[in-house]
Amino acid sequence: MTDDALLALARALDAQDPLARHLSAFAEAPGVDAYLDGNSLGRPLAATPERIAAFVREDWGTRLIRSWDEQWIELPMRLGDRIAEVALGASAGQTVVADSTSVLLYKLIRGAMAHDPGRTEIVIEAGNFPTDRFIADGVAAEVGAVVRRLDPDPVRGVTVEELGDVLSDRTALVVLSQVDYRSGALADMRAITAAVHDAGALVLWDLCHSVGVVPIELDASGVDLAVGCTYKYLNGGPGSPAFAYVRSGLQPSFRQPIHGWWSAADIFAMGPEYAPASGIRQLLSGTPPVLSMLAMQGMLDLIAESGIEAVRAKSVSLTDFAVRAYDELLVPLGVRLLSPRDAARRGGHVTIGHPDFRDVTQRLWADGVIPDFRFPDGIRLGLSPLSTSHEETLRGVLAVRDALAG
């Protein structure tokens, strides 16, 4: 197809898009021609500055410390329930917003390893996000456990069959990402969780690259533990806190290792010994970052209004169009597709590869086209459905072509 034909197709898809009305809900970014990094940091909503200003004027500025009793003490659990309802397929009382993804991963992995001391192995993908691997290794060193690594094809992702080769009666915990941060490969959560349970182990899913863009069914899949960040497709802003999920049936016997005053049964007793709270509040440790919980609330409202299935449909349309534009514009230049071609096996981003992409990314950023580069030679096109159009996607792919050709 010619450039003009691709542009006509992009505009036709945008005209048919039932979620296109939400594009104007996001703040403008002067000088940015195409923002294709929503899988790393979502755009702010246009209403976010006023939401934060109102918080400073009223909740903090006027109510002062009274806001803790009036609303902030329960905010980590209330916001967790909201994320669970809108994006996780989980009932209330199982999700909490608290620390960074790294801290919550530590709490969950360490707690899982204490759950059945007779099991001494952690299974994790060799190419999983570095934080997941580093923390698994650190916990294993603390408790004398062994880390076993899966090494699947990153474009295909982890399969039940490959997992079966490493599961045993020594497996305590399996740690996997639902969407591979490199390729966007989408794992079969339900089938993999069932296989882990058949081996008598627990499973922890990292949802950082799936929450808010892929329908998730934690309860229906029988997931034990999950963690995810809120600054990608939930648009919570840089450093916004992560969330943790602990299945309700597991909570009575689960114990996390960082015993802070906010997870105590009575926060204000100031007693001599620690007694954990019941329920999901036990995942807290220190004072919650209330200000950092503000921005994501507007995005959760947008996702709820749209419906996660409609968000997924738009995501599939965007990534399918990106693959089509890749076929037409980038294949002749020797660019490789590093994501699954089948949308049913792909999350919300498309990764392409070329030896010159490190330098190309720098040129694109200077020209206001913003994907992200992943070592050794990949560019990820992160297409956040509610803030990205097909035409913007095409502008990005065209810019990649022109930078390579030039």
149 belongs to the catalytic site: no
Active site residue 129: yes
Query: Could you tell me which of 278, 286, 239, 279 has the C-alpha nearest to residue 258?
Result: 286
Catalytic residue among 55, 129, 134, 373: 129
Place of tokens 């801290």: 103
Nearest one of 84, 72, 371, 91 to 248, comparing CA atoms: 91
Selected catalytic residue, list 148, 281, 346, 380:
380
Known catalytic residue at 206? yes
Active site residue: 119, 232, 346, 395, which one? 232
| Whole-angstrom distance, CA of residue 289 vs CA of residue 261 | 15
**Exactly one of 26, 35, 231, 357 is catalytic; which is it?**
231
**Catalytic residue (choose from 81, 132, 206, 372):** 206
CA distance 175 to 41: 23
Other Cβ atoms less than 10 A from the Cβ of 252: the count is 9
Q: In angstroms, what CA-CA distances link 339 with 47, 178, 179?
A: 34, 14, 11
Determine contact, residues 208/175, Cβ cutoff 8 Å.
no
Q: Is 231 part of the annotated catalytic residue set?
A: yes
Catalytic residues: 129, 206, 231-232, 380
